[in-house]
């Protein structure tokens, strides 16, 4: 499912965030990355999602080179990132509309049931949410459309 071979990534003049990282994850496996702040965990997730491009190394996702991954295959990835999310001016009801339009397999009924179960208000703007409520919403979003791959950074 995911193959990293000698991946190197650096931010400008700083030392490498990823320094010859190699690992393989097979379909069906659950893997957690642990390490100190600055160890490269979030950067690894960003590379997997194609948000940043490595300086060196080979990355394969779904048994294809990253450049060969189609938009339809990218839509099979559910993700939460520590430093991103929806605009704070949106309500969950508005986010449901965005998800419905973005993900062919978005399960609106399941998402809304889970929002109710976890006390996520549909009409409240995200800027009024607690940090915990925002975290719950990100995980609910990532798991609401039968993703083939889940990438959860600080869920």
CA distance 53 to 36: 22
22 contacts 7 by C-beta, under 8 angstroms: yes
> CA–CA separation, 103 vs 134, rounded Å?
20
Model-level pTM? 0.81
CA distance 141 to 100: 11
Instruction: Give the Cα separation of 92 and 84 in Å (integer).
Output: 16
Place of tokens 């986010």: 95
Q: Which of 1, 38, 56, 43 shows the shortest CA–CA distance to 23?
A: 1
pLDDT of residue 17: 85
d(CA 69, CA 49): 11
pLDDT at residue 84, as a whole number = 61
CA dihedral 69, 29, 153, 23 (to 10 degrees): -70
For Cα atoms 134, 116, 133, give the angle at the middle one, nearest 5 degrees: 15
Query: What interhelical angle do 108-117 and 92-102 show, nearest 10?
Result: 150
Torsion angle, alpha carbons of 91, 93, 94, 99, to 10: 120
Per-residue pLDDT of the chain (155 residues; tens, 9 = 90+): 999 999 999 887 666 788 899 999 999 999 999 988 888 898 999 999 988 999 999 999 999 998 899 888 888 888 888 766 788 899 999 999 998 988 888 999 999 999 999 999 999 999 999 989 998 999 999 999 888 998 988 77
DSSP state of 15: P
């Amino acid at each position: 499912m995911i193959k990293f071979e000698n991946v190197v990534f650096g931010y400008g003049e700083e030392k490498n965030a990823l320094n010859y990282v190699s690992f393989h994850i097979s379909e069906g496996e659950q893997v957690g990355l642990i390490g100190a702040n600055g160890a490269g965990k979030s950067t690894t997730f960003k590379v997997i999602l194609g948000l940043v491009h490595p300086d060196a190394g080979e990355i394969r996702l779904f048994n294809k080179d990253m450049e060969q991954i189609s938009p339809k295959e990218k839509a099979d990835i559910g993700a939460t990132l520590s430093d991103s999310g929806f605009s704070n001016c949106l309500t969950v009801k508005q986010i449901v509309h965005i998800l419905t339009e973005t993900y062919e397999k978005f399960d609106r009924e399941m998402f809304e049931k889970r929002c109710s179960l976890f006390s996520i208000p549909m009409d409240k703007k995200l800027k009024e949410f607690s940090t915990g409520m925002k975290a719950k919403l990100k995980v609910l979003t990532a798991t609401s459309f039968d993703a083939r791959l889940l990438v959860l950074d600080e869920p």
